[in-house]
Structure 1
């Protein structure tokens, strides 16, 4: 009996691997050659007298109402130049990241064939951690000053923010920006709708970043991910018993979905929790929906959170 079970398990694994390999083989055959332009490098290595030429090459980054003196001051400012030197030290060879973008857009083109192959432009901006990567159809703008490593001396941010300032987070951040153009906008403010919206985003990371671990996709540590896995049923019971799912109190998004040092159950365990546990639960609901329904990816991305939840047959793991 034991040998039979082992053989059956092995057969299931082999079938799963074969199915995956066929999909990945098809993805690998999609021609993608991403081009990268290092605007950060061009800017800080341009002489002030050549600024006009740089502005002609990159008009997108030079608002017409900003005087040249502002750009020249930035070029020569010691702190900005030190930041550029740190970025250059980390990314003098950008080829590994460029190859990661090739692989990412092979996956994107497989699931969304109409997608254009964009150009990647790297910049050094104002450390806006809410816009680390911006996907804009034909362009992807990457702010490299926010990927120097979470322990970099320049970062004066809370730990929960800077823990994602790693090179490995560039692709998940790119998918998050891409996803915002594919997922239907939330039409109500209920906690459930917010949870499912970000659950869809994380499910897209499942498809587009199959080699990434779940903690990398959501920006958790391994310990934070484990906490969610071990407390899934507890969190779900908490939401249900307090009738939170269809509650549209804006504070619920801040407590359970938005980036935060921890989630706010208003219990002694709060300091042990990671932020965004609602998004993590929403992810599990979307996964369950996909498993239990015959639906295309595009259709799922347009469905309401309520419909996805009601048809998901979601049951938290105990």
Structure 2
């Protein structure tokens, strides 16, 4: 007969096994390395146009197509191969506001080692779940003049660090972004933005769904893949919500789903409806008290239920599943 102590041990093991997160995997044996470069330091330390010209040539070699995009599209300074580009870039780094932004970047992200460890771990998780997926070779940080947060190429990631200085930052308070955007210009959203950018650019591709359901499934897969890359990140950050927005969405999930069914929206192709439910906004118009992108949240819950009820389906299998109805059939909010 088992003793009370042994029964307790068995019970604890059973509870732990049943509640284990299938995405919380051990990646200690996964081999992956990448480089990190900080172009803002190399640029803002230049003391003259000639130094900027020399730095530009070095940065073109290091950053290649990403640096070309940065100079031409982000800073709108022309081609990095133009003879006059050094002058334009020097104007940029000597601008009073941009110098302040660089100082704030140094204060907030001067020691980037913790972020580097998190980023490497993130891509180890991606490699674990999707061994054939493209992986970055290098991440480059810079000052994007408040134009871009994260951008990805097939082998590099660019991060405009000034976009994560926080809503209380002296410059962000003055820039012309909507309040709901400023409120989330925080470093805590950096990891999810990196995962989001890489997945869309190099793993899943852009959303091409034309129906409400196809949008739900696409964004549900995307959020689940982000979950797989960042299993220890709080859930509200994985969808770029505040904790209050996430809690409201969980509590309202059943009512929202019933509303969608009652309105016969599941197979709707109404573009205005899709924009309301899936694109960035301060709220989802028509649903009082909701955060924006509630359709993405609903899709994530749908995909999570599908994966919970089909333990044999891997993350790779999920991304290849193109039968949306199969995923839809498993979705039953608790109080439906």
- Identify whether the pair has TM-score above 0.5, normalized to the shorter chain: yes
Counterparts of 1:1-318 in structure 2, within 5 Å, are 10-16=12-18, 24-25=25-26, 27-47=27-47, 48-59=49-60, 60-61=67-68, 62=71, 63=79, 64-65=81-82, 67-114=85-132, 115-128=134-147, 131-155=148-172, 156=175, 157-180=177-200, 181-183=202-204, 185-265=206-286, 270=288, 272-293=289-310, 294-304=312-322, 306-311=324-329, 313-318=330-335
2-structure distance, mates of 1:233, 1:32? 41
**Superposition RMSD in Å:** 2.6
Listed one character per residue, the Cα deviations across residues 179-202 of structure 1 (whole Å, up to 9, x for unaligned) are 213225544421211122111111
CA contact (8 A) 1:263 1:275 kept: yes
2-structure distance, mates of 1:112, 1:139? 18
CA contact (8 A) 1:191 1:248 kept: yes
Give the unaligned 5+ runs of structure 2: 61-66, 72-78
Listed one character per residue, the Cα deviations across residues 35-78 of structure 1 (whole Å, up to 9, x for unaligned) are 21100111111132212221221222442356332112112111
Listed one character per residue, the Cα deviations across residues 253-308 of structure 1 (whole Å, up to 9, x for unaligned) are 2211111111112xxx52x2111111000001111121223333223213336234
CA contact (8 A) 1:34 1:98 kept: no
Q: Could you state the TM-score of these two structures normalised by the residue count of structure 2?
A: 0.83
In structure 2, do the counterparts of structure 1 residues 308 and 187 end up closer, same or farther at CA, with 3 Å as the change threshold? Answer: farther
What is the deviation of 1:215? 0.5
Q: Could you state the TM-score of these two structures normalised by the residue count of structure 1?
A: 0.87
1-structure distance, mates of 2:282, 2:323? 26
1-structure distance, mates of 2:278, 2:8? 41
CA contact (8 A) 1:228 1:280 kept: yes
Give the total of aligned pairs: 307
